[in-house]
Structure 1
Amino acid sequence: MKTEFAFGDIVSVAGYENRIFYVDAWREVKETDEWGVSEYIEFELTDAINGEFLDAFETDLRLVCRKQFVEDYLLEYDETDYPEPSGAAFHFTDDYSFVIGYAKKEAAGMAKGPKETPKKEQAAGAKQINGLLDEYNDYMRLHEAFGDAEYKTKADAVMTKLRREASE
């Protein structure tokens, strides 16, 4: 299946008027039921202003800005009267110490979670978070060294993954 949207593009979503979202990921879904087979694409999105996560169908999306122009677009974007998140959302500052603190707790096996969670799962989660932190730091170093907006976009995508991991 082919989609007209790319990772890092900014889109609007039907039902979420006056809000803009980054395209983080998509998945191709092939669903079979008693009436036949249907195929469609689901998108994982992050609100570009307040960080709320959202899943949407491709038919509900409209392109606002391609990823190579996102930085300039957001610099001129007027956030006045930007709608509040419609559901539970996570709000983050530019201080990513919450992720590092979470990773340290996971690595030490001290994260609060279901008692039946095996230590192997906790260690695997910590390893994944540490890997994502390394990846984020690498992209930010490349962005700072070369000033390429693509590295910043990739770093933002990794941070989105980190936020999701930290909230689970």
Structure 2
Amino acid sequence: MKTEFTFGDIVSVAGYENRIFYVDAWREVKATDEWGVSEYVEFELTDAINGEFLDAFETDLKLVCRKQFAEDYLLTYDETNYPEPTGAAFHFADYFPKLPSVESVAELGKGLEKVASDMTKKKAKEEAKRKTDELLDEYNDNMRLYETFGDAEYKTKADAVMAKLRREAGE
């Protein structure tokens, strides 16, 4: 199907007076129902001023400006009384009217680095404590076995574990 409009053209839409839209895409639709087959073109449009999305039929569109002249047209376009969006579109500017400053993002980054550093230190302490507890358990087991059976091998193992504990503690 041949269409009068092309990508990037600026159009107006019936029912959306005083608003202008970019042509983003179009679909050729062939619908079949009990009365027959109908073929038509649907356009996907974006409001040139506030970014609202809209679908419209070709018959509802009127050419305002061709793509190659769109930029110049928008530079001279008067937006003073431009209507608010009519749909339930999500507009980022409504929720995030001001982006954070570079300084605040840098401060946030420093805070996150400190938290990460603190967490790493805490994790290292927990790991050292776990290792110490395991060595103490091993020492106690070997001493119990030595006291129970009197085998010098258990005493030697217990002494080796104690030496390792002292090395780890930095004594």
Q: Which has the larger radius of gyration?
A: 2
Provide the rounded CA distance (Å) in 2 between the counterparts of 1:89 and 1:8.
21
Q: Tell me what 1:38 maps to.
A: 38
How far is the alpha carbon of 1:88 from its aligned partner? Answer: 1.3
What is the identity, as a one-letter code, of the residue corresponding to 1:73? Answer: Y
TM-score (ref. length: structure 2)? 0.53
Q: Tell me what 1:12 maps to.
A: 12
**SS of the residue aligned with 1:31?**
strand
Provide the rounded CA distance (Å) in 2 between the counterparts of 1:91 and 1:3.
30
How far is the alpha carbon of 1:92 from its aligned partner? Answer: 4.6
Alignment of 1:78-89 (within 5 A): 78-89=78-89
Could you say which structure has the higher helix fraction?
A: 2
* Distance change (3 Å), C-alpha of 1:91 and 1:57: same
Q: Tell me what 1:49 maps to.
A: 49
In structure 2, list runs of 5 or more residues that go unmatched.
94-98, 100-171
Q: Tell me what 1:64 maps to.
A: 64
The answer as to whether partners of 1:46 and 1:52 remain within 8 angstroms in 2 is yes
How far is the alpha carbon of 1:87 from its aligned partner? Answer: 0.9
Provide the rounded CA distance (Å) in 2 between the counterparts of 1:45 and 1:92.
18
Q: Tell me what 1:153 maps to.
A: none
Provide the rounded CA distance (Å) in 1 between the counterparts of 2:69 and 2:90.
26
The answer as to whether partners of 1:8 and 1:66 remain within 8 angstroms in 2 is yes
* Distance change (3 Å), C-alpha of 1:92 and 1:66: farther
Alignment of 1:101-116 (within 5 A): none
The answer as to whether partners of 1:51 and 1:92 remain within 8 angstroms in 2 is no
What is the identity, as a one-letter code, of the residue corresponding to 2:61? Answer: L
Higher relative contact order, structure no. (Cα contacts within 8 Å, ≥ 6 residues apart): 1
Provide the rounded CA distance (Å) in 2 between the counterparts of 1:91 and 1:73.
24
How far is the alpha carbon of 1:91 from its aligned partner? Answer: 2.8
- Cα offsets for 1:87-139 (capped at 9, x unmatched): 1123356xxx9xxxxxxxxxxxxxxxxxxxxxxxxxxxxxxxxxxxxxxxxxx
- Cα offsets for 1:49-86 (capped at 9, x unmatched): 00000000000000000000000000000000100000
TM-score (ref. length: structure 1)? 0.54
How far is the alpha carbon of 1:44 from its aligned partner? Answer: 0.2
